[in-house]
Structure 1
Amino acid sequence: MGKEIVKIIFVIIFSVFYRVQIIGRENIPKEGAAILCSNHISELDMFFIGYRMKRLVRYMAKEELFKNPILAFIIRKLGAFPVKRGKGDVGAIKTSLKLLSEGHIVGIFPEGTRKKKAQKTNKEIKVKAGAALLAQKSQAPILPVLINGNYRLFSKVKVIFGKPFTLDLDKNKKYTNSELLLESEKIMKKVYSLLEE
């Protein structure tokens, strides 16, 4: 079963059980590398984001998800690859940079963990440095995406694609972890600002 069939199945399921509203689809780059950065509400996020996207998003997904053979098969078909959370997975970073160099869209959740709902930008945002590091090393644009909804059956889920932007980071400079965290925080503020537009 190929990724097209898997995707069709999810499109049918989501169309029946959810009211998905996609906003800003015109902001998705038609070609070339991009780092898709989104808030993280549920394990279903990657499916909702890719619901109507023509391009495949290559997601970093926590390695625990790959321990279930059926789930591993599905998410691999949808472009995911494993990452060890909280351990600075160098392998996952290298894989991401390789994919970006090949012109793929790589998806990452900069906060590194799930939050039940989208928040306003004036609240504290806890992030990981990975998103900023990828942006620095690849110099790829960032595609901000906001998911807003509770994922209850037959509820409305809104997926908003913002305009791509870049971070002013020197590819060859050695940044501290604190500096990269600040840049990742900027990314998430951009994501959450989509809630207020």
Structure 2
Amino acid sequence: MRWLAYMISRFLLKLILGVVVKTHVLHRERSRLPGGWLFVSNHISHFDPPFLTVAAFRKLDWMATRELYHPWPVALWMKAVDTFPVDRERADRAATRETLERVKRGRVVGIFPEGGIRDGANSVLEGASLKPGLAGLAQLSGAPVVPCALIGSDQLYTHRNWIPFRKSEAWIAFGEPLYVEGEGKEARAAFEERIAAALRALYAELKERFALTEKDLPQPPARRKGRL
């Protein structure tokens, strides 16, 4: 039943996004990686999960902030499509256990390791650090981490971009799987730096490949809404 709910939701998302956005995807085949693994992306808007869910070949079980589980119909739908909540304000052991269990069962868990929506100097794409914890999950699970860079989803904060067939654009690039090397605090720190570097490299690849301009790059939601 959950698989059906996910596939119906994915189909509807693909239909909606296909009408209003032209999405360019690089290295999509990297999302076919078999077995359980962790999928990580930069986070520039509330629309990121739909874009990435549609772009990836594998089914993604999203780790989502608990604030999104209200009102109850939303919580019911999110549970139906196999998301699970995380408390971003503390070390959430329940979310950690759930992640490890799902990866062990051969599933793919989607995570935004920046800990929230970020742009500019606050974004990993522009040099900011990731929120600690991702490397620990990779160590405990022994699973690979597949990085992904996303640009353009924040353009949907501009209301006119929802006009059918107006075709705003978004760009996505999947990276190669990365594994933790070694154990301990230093190994975790080094791995998180590798993930951050991989995300920046994908970002640079997208900018060069598609000749992106400043207006294409991530901006604050308020600016996209015309409030700045």
Larger Rg: 2
- Fold conserved (TM > 0.5)? yes
For the residue of structure 1 that corresponds to 2:147, the secondary structure is strand
1:14 aligns with 2:27: no
After TM superposition, the score normalised by the length of structure 1 is 0.87
Alignment counterpart, residue 97 of structure 1, candidates 79, 96, 100:
100
Deviation at 1:84, TM superposition (A): 0.4
Return the alpha-carbon distance in structure 2 between the equivalents of residues 182 and 190 of structure 1. Answer: 12
Alignment counterpart, residue 151 of structure 1, candidates 146, 149, 155:
155
The aligned length equals 191
After TM superposition, the score normalised by the length of structure 2 is 0.76
Alignment counterpart, residue 28 of structure 1, candidates 22, 26, 31:
31
Alignment counterpart, residue 201 of structure 2, candidates 170, 193, 196:
193
**Closer, same or farther in 2 for the Cα pair 1:124/1:55, shift >3 Å?**
closer
Work out whether residues 130 and 192 of structure 2, in 8 Å CA contact, stay in contact via their aligned partners in 1.
Answer: yes
Deviation at 1:74, TM superposition (A): 3.4
**Closer, same or farther in 2 for the Cα pair 1:103/1:66, shift >3 Å?**
same
Return the alpha-carbon distance in structure 2 between the equivalents of residues 73 and 117 of structure 1. Answer: 34
Return the alpha-carbon distance in structure 2 between the equivalents of residues 117 and 76 of structure 1. Answer: 32
Work out whether residues 149 and 173 of structure 2, in 8 Å CA contact, stay in contact via their aligned partners in 1.
Answer: yes
For the residue of structure 2 that corresponds to 1:151, the secondary structure is helix
Identify the structure with bigger relative contact order (alpha carbons < 8 Å, sequence gap 6+). Answer: 1
Give the aligned partner of residue 106 of structure 1.
109
RMSD over aligned CA atoms reads 2.2
1:184 aligns with 2:192: yes
After TM superposition, the structure 1 = structure 2 runs for residues 153-168 of structure 1, keeping only pairs within 5 Å, are 153=161, 154-168=167-181
Work out whether residues 120 and 195 of structure 1, in 8 Å CA contact, stay in contact via their aligned partners in 2.
Answer: no
Return the alpha-carbon distance in structure 2 between the equivalents of residues 11 and 53 of structure 1. Answer: 11
Q: Which runs of 5+ in 2 are unaligned?
A: 162-166, 206-228
Give the aligned partner of residue 50 of structure 1.
53
Alignment counterpart, residue 64 of structure 2, candidates 61, 64, 88:
61
Which AA in structure 1 matches 2:155?
Answer: Y
For the residue of structure 1 that corresponds to 2:55, the secondary structure is coil
- What does the per-residue CA deviation read over 1:135-184, in whole Å, with 9 as the maximum and x for residues that have no partner? 111111110100011333231111111111212133xxxx34x7634532
Work out whether residues 6 and 74 of structure 1, in 8 Å CA contact, stay in contact via their aligned partners in 2.
Answer: no
Deviation at 1:120, TM superposition (A): 7.5
Work out whether residues 32 and 104 of structure 1, in 8 Å CA contact, stay in contact via their aligned partners in 2.
Answer: yes
Work out whether residues 10 and 47 of structure 1, in 8 Å CA contact, stay in contact via their aligned partners in 2.
Answer: yes
Higher helix fraction (1 or 2) = 2
